[in-house]
Amino acid sequence: MTILVTGGAGFIGGNFIYYERKHHPEDSIICLDSLTYAGNLSTLSPILDQPNFRFVKLDIRDRAGVYQLFEAERPDIVVNFAAESHVDRSIESPEIFLQTNILGTQVLMDACRKYGVQRFHQVSTDEVYGDLPLDRPDLFFTEETPLHTSSPYSASKAAADLLVMAYHRTYGLPATISRCSNNYGPYQFPEKLIPLMIANALNDKPLPVYGQGLNVRDWLYVEDHCKAIDLILQKGRAGAIYNIGGHNEMKNIDIVKLICKELGKPESLITYVADRKGHDMRYAIDPAKIHRELGWLPETGFSDGIVKTIGWYLDHRSWWEPIVTGEYRNYYKRMYGGR
Ligand code: NAD
Ligand code: DAU
């Protein structure tokens, strides 16, 4: 089996490649990634020279390049992680989100139709459902919840989901979609809440909490997400959508305080800053379908996962320190300077 993983130099794609290597060592993996600011080839350096692994620097919007790769490698399965993934950046510059997340997905699906695949899997997000109110803890996102997006990022992911379902119905593309809640774990780019707070706390820098920090996210350890996608590839029904989440809702402020505690840093580092525009209040996934149909359950609870994650950032400074000292500093100034 040959699996084409797009966006594999990013956070979840990289973790997925290691998951597949461990659980299906007989499979060949090709990683296609254009190495945007969020892609980091050092994540994959331990396996770059392995015989059944190939890295290809390519943009999913490059139709000719993508067709050439499919012609040469004839992948059996395509898993699309490649995306612009950060909400704040989408508020600043929406266009690249539409190009990569929608048109890039279309190019990949056209290649799948032209060359034939057993499965095209689209890695989507719970953000396509919009948000839930804080005073209705009884409400959860199911696969039937209407799409109701808030940010240019989530709108681009919802558009891609609709296109995937259209390709399934119109052309019979054997496609599946997963919509996962917030991930955390090793190799996450330090612009996202948890790694940003860990990196800032370790450098005794202010911890910028948006608004009052009362927004709720439903956190899942990244390996549990990878396991769910692997199950969907093996046992999921073509045309099906699966929500993925571990019923682990937490307020942002509680996460930041926990990180301070684990690192022995004072809460006085916490700085409340201007809120994100259109900020979603609460995400909460109902994972009943993937549990019922595929037997998926998360394995890592938040208390273990966050300790493992903090430990990973402590042990892998050489992975993230070059990021926070490089071009990222300009982004940080732009994003947080005037808040
Ligand atoms: P990430 O930003 O860490 O990685 C994205 C990767 O895609 C990078 O390696 C980047 O170089 C690559 N990429 C971007 N544009 C590309 C292009 N045009 N062509 C080829 N490669 C390109 O993202 P992530 O957090 O790992 O998210 C992966 C996927 O999972 C995304 O589709 C995202 O929407 C989805 N998702 C993320 C989360 C989360 O909590 N991070 C949760 C649910 C779903
Ligand atoms: O729910 C899945 C989504 O989770 C994915 O689709 C996205 O790709 C991923 O980025 C993530 O989106 P969020 O916007 O929820 O993640 P982020 O880490 O950016 O923010 C988490 C919460 O923390 C959110 O309420 C905003 C807040 N926040 C974030 C940052 C970066 C802060 O308070 N301060 C910050 O500096």
Residue 276 CA: nearest ligand 2 atom is 26
For ligand 2, the distance from its centroid to the CA atom of residue 128, given in whole angstroms, is 14
Q: How far is CA 170 from CA 124, 161, 183, in A?
A: 20, 14, 32
Which ligand has its closest atom nearest to the C-alpha of 206?
2
**Is the shortest distance between the CB of 59 and ligand 1 below 6 Å?**
yes
Cα separation of the two ends of the chain? 49
Best residue among 5, 6, 12, 121 to mutate for probing ligand 1, ranked by most atoms within 8 Å of CB: 12
For the Cβ of 305 lying below 6 angstroms from any atom of ligand 1, the answer is: no
81 close to ligand 1 (CB < 6 Angstrom):
yes
Q: Which atom of ligand 2 is nearest to the CA of 256?
A: 33
Task: Give the ligand 1 atom nearest the CA of 184.
Answer: 40
Which ligand ends up closest to the CA of 91?
A: 2
* 131 within ligand 2 shell (Cβ under 6 A): no
Residue by residue, pLDDT tens for the chain (339 residues) are 999 999 999 999 999 999 999 999 999 999 999 999 999 999 999 999 999 999 999 999 999 999 999 999 999 999 999 999 999 999 999 999 999 999 999 999 999 999 999 999 999 999 999 999 999 999 999 999 999 999 999 999 999 999 999 999 999 999 999 999 999 999 999 999 999 999 999 999 999 999 999 999 999 999 999 999 999 999 999 999 999 999 999 999 999 999 999 999 999 999 999 999 999 999 999 999 999 999 999 999 999 999 999 999 999 999 999 999 988 888 899 899 888
Calculate how far, in angstroms, residue 294's C-alpha sits from the geometric centre of ligand 1. Answer: 25
Identify the nearest ligand to the CA of 222 by its number. Answer: 1
If one residue of 36, 128, 217 were mutated to test the ligand 2 pocket, choosing by the most ligand atoms within 8 A of its CB, it would be 217
pLDDT at 338: 80
Any ligand 2 atom below 6 A from CB of 189: no
Q: How many Cα atoms are found within 13 Å in the side-chain-facing hemisphere of 39?
A: 21
Ligand whose nearest atom lies closest to the CA of 151? 2
pLDDT of residue 307: 98
Catalytic site positions: 126-127, 153
From the CB of 127, is ligand 2 less than 6 Å away? yes
Take atom 25 of ligand 1 and give the residue whose Cα is closest: 11
CA of 54 from ligand 2 middle (Å) equals 31
In angstroms, what is the span from residue 99 Cα to ligand 1's centroid? 14
Do residues 239 and 301 touch, judged by C-beta distance below 8 A? no
Amino acid at 205: K
Query: Ligand 1: distance of its center to the CA of 86 in Å?
Result: 9
Phi-psi region of 273 (alpha: psi -120 to 50; beta: other; left: phi over 0): beta
Check pocket membership of 181 for ligand 2, CB cut-off 6 A: yes
